[in-house]
Amino acid sequence: VSNDGADKAVDIAIIGGGPAGLTAALYAARGGAHTTVFERGVLGGQITTTDRIENYPAFPEGIGGGELGELMARQAETHGAKIVPFVEITKLTQLDDGTFELTDEYDTHYARSVIIATGAVPKLLEIDGEAEYTGRGVSWCSTCDGAFYRGKVIAVIGGGNAALEEALFLTKFARRVYLVHRREAFRAETVHVDRAQAHEAIEFVTPFAPLKIVGDGSKVTGLHIEHVEHGTTDVLEIDGVFEYVGTCPQSTVAESLLTPDEYGYLDVQTDGSTDIPGLFCAGDVTTAPLKQVVTAAGAGAVAGFSALRFLEQQALQQ
Ligand SMILES: Cc1cc2nc3c(=O)[nH]c(=O)nc-3n(C[C@H](O)[C@H](O)[C@H](O)COP(=O)(O)OP(=O)(O)OC[C@H]3O[C@@H](n4cnc5c(N)ncnc54)[C@H](O)[C@@H]3O)c2cc1C
């Protein structure tokens, strides 16, 4: 993957080198547009934080998250996209003639169309052991990782709809699910709470706050918890922790041109377009209901295609 700097002016600039951005780049570059992807970190986005992706089509044995990201990047490059890792776009504005201006720490770039594919990051608990065991027992994605816990004991942390829904989903695999929440009351809808309470595999552990995650050096073995009112502590013997204490969409760079919803997600039309002509969004940063690699890649393809069409229409008008 090249990192020898970006061209100053391109047809399509893509912010974010995760599945959405890299697939948008594949479609845009393959469609003949001069395309650059800016990625602030490692290519591949969130999938680089997981060992194995088992639900992306065409890989019957699964594929490593990092490897999949690398393959997506290589495929986009093969078709002519320029990929620039370790460059964070900090500002996005639009000039009077419609050209977009993208600013990073050192430079300014220009593009006729922009695709925002900046994704989201799970909110962290920020407790001991969390970073050490990420991908080795600590997860934020039950759809992705639930199957690894068949017959095992896990803890789900959180009190919103996501935590309750995922706890219920995880009972398909785990024989016991501790639902750890720092309050007696739940933010989740009553229907979810009632269903979870009625489920024999789910045990409510409230009002307890997670203190630290412990393990044997290679995998999680326990979760230390503290009673929020009494201060008493306990240890849950578990094989995995699923954290659902919220997500942080990475939409800050869009805020000069678009207004995110109350949770920070960007609203888009089904073709990825926004209220600003030439500005498109795709993937986890949007309000899309399912946040997975396959949906991010699909949305990236749509946004890449729509950006190409926008450029064609612009050319016809000139
Ligand atoms: C631990 C974990 C395991 C998962 N497992 C699976 C799984 O097994 N199967 C599955 O389908 N899904 C899985 N997911 C979900 C999946 O990873 C996401 O749905 C998908 O990566 C979303 O792709 P995206 O391109 O929209 O966003 P992201 O993957 O979040 O990529 C966005 C990229 O944009 C970059 N970026 C953000 N802001 C800027 C900026 N200002 N300038 C430059 N770059 C920027 C970020 O660094 C990031 O690389 C998992 C998620 C996690 C956290």
At 195-242, the pLDDT tens digits run 999 999 999 999 999 999 999 999 999 999 999 999 999 999 999 999
For residues 61-80, average pLDDT: 95
Q: Which two tokens stand for residue 132?
A: 């050490």
Q: How many CA atoms lie within 13 A of 290 on its CB side?
A: 11
Q: What pLDDT does residue 258 have?
A: 98
């992705």: which residue's tokens? Answer: 144
Supply the residue whose CA is at minimum distance from atom 26 of ligand 1.
283
In which residue are the tokens 């749509």 written?
302
Rounded average pLDDT over 58-73: 94
Ligand 1: distance of its center to the CA of 141 in Å? Answer: 12
| Tokens linked to 223 | 């979760």
pTM of the model: 0.83
pLDDT of the residue at 1: 33
Backbone angles phi, psi at 314, to 5 degrees: -60, -40
The residues that are catalytic are 141, 144-145
Decide which of 151 and 123 is more confident: 151
Q: Distance from the CA of 120 to the center of ligand 1, in angstroms?
A: 6
Calculate what percentage of the chain has a pLDDT beyond 70.
97
CA of 284 to the centre of ligand 1 (A): 7
Identify the residue whose C-alpha is closest to ligand 1 atom 37.
Answer: 118
Question: How much is the average pLDDT of 284-304?
Answer: 96
Q: Is the pLDDT of residue 89 over 90?
A: yes
Segment 160-188, tens digit of pLDDT: 887 998 899 899 999 999 999 999 999 98
Contact residues of ligand 1, CB 6 A cut-off: 15-21, 38-41, 45-47, 49-50, 53, 55-56, 88-89, 117-120, 122, 139-141, 144, 250, 253, 283-284, 291-294, 296
* Average pLDDT over every residue of 130-148: 91
N residues, the chain: 318
52: pLDDT strictly greater than 80: no
**Cα 16 to ligand 1 centroid, rounded to whole Å:** 9
| 243 bridge partner residues | 157
In testing the pocket of ligand 1, which one of 144, 241, 245, 257 has its CB within 8 Å of the most ligand atoms? 144
User: Which atom belonging to ligand 1 lies closest to the Cα atom of 104?
Assistant: 42
Query: The dihedral of CA 142, 145, 147, 153: what is its sign?
Result: negative
